[in-house]
Amino acid sequence: MTAPGMRHPVHVVTDSAADIPPAMLDGRPISVVPLTVEVEGTVYRDGIDLSREDFLAMLRAGRQPRTSQPSVGAFREVYADLIGSGFDVVAVHIATGLSGTFNASRAAAEAVDPVRVRLIDTRTVSMGTGWLALEAAEAATRGDALDAIAAMVQRRTADQRVYAAIETLEYLQRGGRIGRSAAFLGSALRIKPLVEVRDGAVEPLERVRTSRRALERLVALAAAQVPWEHLMVLHVGVEATARDLAERAAGIQPGLDVPVSSLGTVVGTYGGPGIVGLAGLVRSRSAPA
């Protein structure tokens, strides 16, 4: 337990559903606990045992993965190691409405040292969570204290935005996120749904008929949220489309850098091949408490 008045450096823990590109983790005080993906009886650790190229091939071959949150034990091991090494911890996680990851992390924190671990439900997914974890790591590198970092991340959850265009509803239906009749109707009408992650849930925005129109609407949605602090394009198997979207999105704000990355296997399981989206943090619109 922490002695009165004692202050420790802070380390950030997140989960692999944050989709942070490996190069962005280098040199930062962040640990990523992987979710798991099971394909035909074989269990893979997200981002470790299964490449995104092999995962895409599995999806296109009709092999349906099943995802699962990390075990309590996996989080407990990470927290015990960090606290034993002299760190306090800010844990930044995928929305509780989308995964049991937060609850597993909380159980582990309570078992190890609830005083020195602060948990944040980001109420989002992918780089909506990832950017929050990266900002927490920046604050930790500056030497900010545990409570200050946790409070900052909690405020910033209101500033995350995630929008996506889905190529087909088939994978949402396979994963139990929509009914079979809805998936069939969407495919028959060649509808490309636009969705937003809002308040911890995937919410429909509108439906369009063409990929060109989907990109136009994603850019318009991003333009309506200017100014951005961070923005990234993510996709599954459509890099050319993603780079087109990134180029268009960069034009909505002078000097805005919009990198491109692949979605991880967890989010990709439900979005399926062809999904492309934007995830970022707008400039803070919430005053400190």
Q: What is the DSSP string of the chain?
A: -PPTT----EEEEEEGGG---HHHHTTSSEEEEPPEEEETTEEEEBTTTB-HHHHHHHHHTT---EEEPPPHHHHHHHHHHHHHTT-EEEEEE--TTT-SHHHHHHHHHHHH-TTSEEEEE-S--THHHHHHHHHHHHHHHHT--HHHHHHHHHHHGGGEEEEEE-S-SHHHHHTTSS-HHHHHHHHHTT-EEEEEEETTEEEEEEEESSHHHHHHHHHHHHHTTPSEEEEEEEESS-HHHHHHHHHHHHTTSTT----EEE--HHHHHHH-TT-EEEEEEESP-S---
AA identity, residue 246: A
Comma-separated ranges of CATH 3.40.50.10170 domains in the chain: 10-36+69-157
Closest by CA to 119, choosing from 129, 8, 229, is 129
Q: pTM of the predicted model, to two decimals?
A: 0.91
Q: How confident is the model at residue 177 (pLDDT cuts 50, 70, 90)?
A: very low
160-282 has CATH 3.40.50.720 classification: no
pLDDT at 152 over 60: yes
pLDDT at 6 over 80: no
Closest by CA to 281, choosing from 237, 245, 227, is 227
pLDDT in tens, 104-139: 999 999 999 999 999 999 999 999 999 999 999 999
What is residue 182's predicted lDDT score, i.e. its pLDDT?
45
What is residue 143's predicted lDDT score, i.e. its pLDDT?
97
Which whole number is the average pLDDT over 153-177?
80
What is residue 171's predicted lDDT score, i.e. its pLDDT?
61
Average predicted confidence (pLDDT) for the chain: 90
pLDDT in tens, 14-33: 999 999 999 999 999 999 99
Which whole number is the average pLDDT over 213-230?
97
What is residue 267's predicted lDDT score, i.e. its pLDDT?
87
pLDDT at 184 over 90: no
Distance of CA 251 to the CA centre of its chain: 24
Which whole number is the average pLDDT over 250-267?
95
10-36+69-157 has CATH 3.40.50.10170 classification: yes
pLDDT at 170 over 70: no
Comma-separated ranges of CATH 3.30.1180.10 domains in the chain: 160-282
Q: How confident is the model at residue 63 (pLDDT cuts 50, 70, 90)?
A: confident
pLDDT at 179 over 80: no
